Each structure stands twice: as C-alpha cells, then as structure tokens.
Amino acid sequence: MTKRILVVEDNDLNRKLFCDVLSAGGFAVEPVADGNQALEAARGFLPNLVVMDIQLQDVSGLDLIASMKEDAELSEVPVLAVTAYAGKGDEERIREIGAEGYLSKPVSIGPFMAAVNGLVGN
C-alpha cells in the first residue's frame, strides 16, 4: 500500500522540491501551503507522515505539531520537522513538542529520504 505524506511548507520552491522528491520515491503526496489548513488537511488525507516546516507565515509549526499530538486522530502520525532556524537547543525543543524527526535547511535529498523512510517504516 502506498504511504501518504502531508507536506506543510509555505515556500513554493521547497514545497515543490519535497513533493517531487517524495512522489519520485513512490509516495502519495498532499502539499499544504497554508499552515492554518494543515490539521484539516491531515484529517482528510490521513497521512503516514507529516513533513512540517517550523517557520510558517501565519502559524508556528511548533504549535501545529503540538496540536497534532493532542488530536486523537493524528497523535500517532510521525512528524519530520524541517527548519531553516537551527540554533542551539532547537532540535531538542522541537522533539520535546513531539516531532519524531528533525532536519535543518538546506536539506539534501539523501538525508531527507533517509529520514522519511526511517519514519514511515520503508
């Protein structure tokens, strides 16, 4: 069965890159540009993984991860946090909120796909 990945990324180029790479890897992909629509999209798409940008324009990716982990339908869905803001202690804070994976931008394809496959069990 094809694994489903929700990509929450407000940067058009990053979103397209993530979606293209994941699609080429055989995943069904649902892109979301607006963080405010992420939880609703996740409930409708029921992903096996969420790739979550942390610095979204309208809402914090940290808040979205926390909301997902409190949602009975979505709490078990692993989250791969991707952020350009990679300061000391950020990975620890992001993981404490509930993200199972963490990558800092710019993201290389190899480590990105390794993280994705590790989280979806491929």
Instruction: Indicate the domain borders of the chain.
Output: 4-120
Q: What is the distance between the terminal CA atoms of the chain, rounded to a whole angstrom?
A: 11
Question: How high is the pLDDT of residue 84?
Answer: 87
Question: How high is the pLDDT of residue 122?
Answer: 65
pLDDT digits (tens, 9 = 90+) for 85-115: 777 889 999 999 999 999 999 999 999 999 9
| Contact call for residues 66 and 99 (beta carbons, < 8 A) | no
Question: How high is the pLDDT of residue 118?
Answer: 97
d(CA 64, CA 55): 11
DSSP for residue 57: S
pTM score? 0.96
* Residues with pLDDT less than 70, the chain: 122
Q: Return left, alpha or beta for 17; rule: phi > 0 is left, psi -120 to 50 is alpha, else beta.
A: alpha
Question: How high is the pLDDT of residue 85?
Answer: 75
- CA neighbours closer than 13 Å in the CB half-sphere of residue 58: 10
CATH class of 4-120: alpha beta
Hunting for tokens 């610095």 — which residue is that?
Answer: 55
Q: Report residue 16 as tokens.
A: 């397209």
Question: How high is the pLDDT of residue 18?
Answer: 97
| Cis, peptide link before residue 106, omega less than 30° from 0 | yes
Say if strands 28-32 and 49-53 run parallel, antiparallel, or are unpaired: unpaired
